[in-house]
Structure 1
């Protein structure tokens, strides 16, 4: 009898662990894979195609979407876009020939002044790391100066609107693509990568041998 007890105890322990797993399952990690924008290395035409499909699928429920521009625009042009969309983020990137400049994303409130002040906010974020004399510091400093001067440097915006509103903004001449997420996507739980104006054939970094 004493030889059997250890096996009984082991079996009982295994059963207890199994029941604990069934009654108290491990909750899945809160990870969302929603993303807006093209993948690195993706052909531009492929991205434009799937962005168009996503836009056609949206109905009356509001959705988050990425608007990418043909050329960088200023915030006045953003404010003048059709569709009466709620602009939530502005993505700034100062265009300098053959220079990879930093992408700065600025959240804006619904107040019109927040959108107007967004370039100054972006410039302020670049002022901190701009100290120094290396190339990266010079690029940051030049970018900050141009943003502070209200340059045409917005390469994309994240907006929220109905399918009808999003399709209306897609008709604007300065808009290159509008990609929409499903209506159940949660704010702050998706990544954003703009389709840059210099992305012509493939989404890939351009040359970075110019002078700021």
Structure 2
């Protein structure tokens, strides 16, 4: 064996060096883990929070109680832009929405096809701006429901409801119970006084788009406000 040959694996000196090196690595790992725990305690992850903002009545509300709460939401001197729900006194067609919302920016058009004792889905259509997009929002709602049909078991009640609702929206039905708008409080108060407007409810000024729930006060809702019945026959068209 030459002088340059490595020591055999059983060499005690080499084994000792490996043991001490492994011990050093292990101590470093333990130290890093302990440091991570300390840093985690000192700097806990930021709580993103859960949004609880909601536009529309709560289940169990009375109509009068909700109308009072909506009216109160428009009070105050602040005139910054607010997100607000406009609930109509009767269902509107897409073509009627521009005239009903003159002077305010519509962010969403809401559609829920009225069918007696059948729970049809609420559809929110984003409106990028302008009356043209608002007038075609009923057709856009129909396409949303048609897309849902692709993922629904055929020939079931849910599929039948989606098909009927999409067909009626595509035919231009009066199926819009309200819209979501953005405007100053003063303009919202003026909007609330217009004929055919049942309620306008504003959110706080710090409400963030896309971080609040929406459930319009339907024109045919009675007291107490509860989810609609779904025990009636689904019409053929």
Tell me the TM-score normalised to structure 2 length: 0.76
1:146 Cα offset (Å) = 0.9
Residue aligning to 1:5: none
Q: SS where residue 144 of structure 2 aligns?
A: helix
Residue aligning to 2:92: 73
Query: Are 1:106 and 2:125 matched, yes or no?
Result: yes
1:94 Cα offset (Å) = 0.7
Residue 145 (structure 1) aligned to one of 167, 177, 202: 167
Aligned mates of 1:130, 1:95 — CA distance in 2: 19
Aligned mates of 1:122, 1:76 — CA distance in 2: 14
**Higher deviation after alignment, 83-92 or 124-133:** 124-133
Query: Are 1:202 and 2:228 matched, yes or no?
Result: no
Aligned mates of 2:39, 2:142 — CA distance in 1: 57
1:43 Cα offset (Å) = 1.8
Q: Which has the larger radius of gyration?
A: 2
Deviant stretches of 4+, over 4 Å: 16-20
Aligned mates of 1:200, 1:162 — CA distance in 2: 30
Aligned mates of 2:142, 2:213 — CA distance in 1: 22
1:210 Cα offset (Å) = 2.1
Aligned mates of 2:56, 2:125 — CA distance in 1: 17
Tell me the TM-score normalised to structure 1 length: 0.85
Q: SS where residue 94 of structure 1 aligns?
A: coil
Q: Which runs of 5+ in 1 are unaligned?
A: 1-13
Are the equivalent residues in 1 in contact too, given 2:97–2:135 (CA < 8 A)? Answer: no
Aligned mates of 2:186, 2:148 — CA distance in 1: 41
1:31 Cα offset (Å) = 2.2
1:59 Cα offset (Å) = 2.8
1:209 Cα offset (Å) = 2.4
**Match runs of 1:37-56 below 5 Å:** 37-56=56-75
Aligned mates of 1:50, 1:118 — CA distance in 2: 29
Aligned mates of 1:66, 1:180 — CA distance in 2: 7
Residue 53 (structure 2) aligned to one of 23, 29, 34: 34
Please give the root-mean-square deviation of Cα atoms over the aligned residues, in Å. 2.2
Q: SS where residue 168 of structure 2 aligns?
A: helix
How many residues are aligned here?
199
1:129 Cα offset (Å) = 3.7
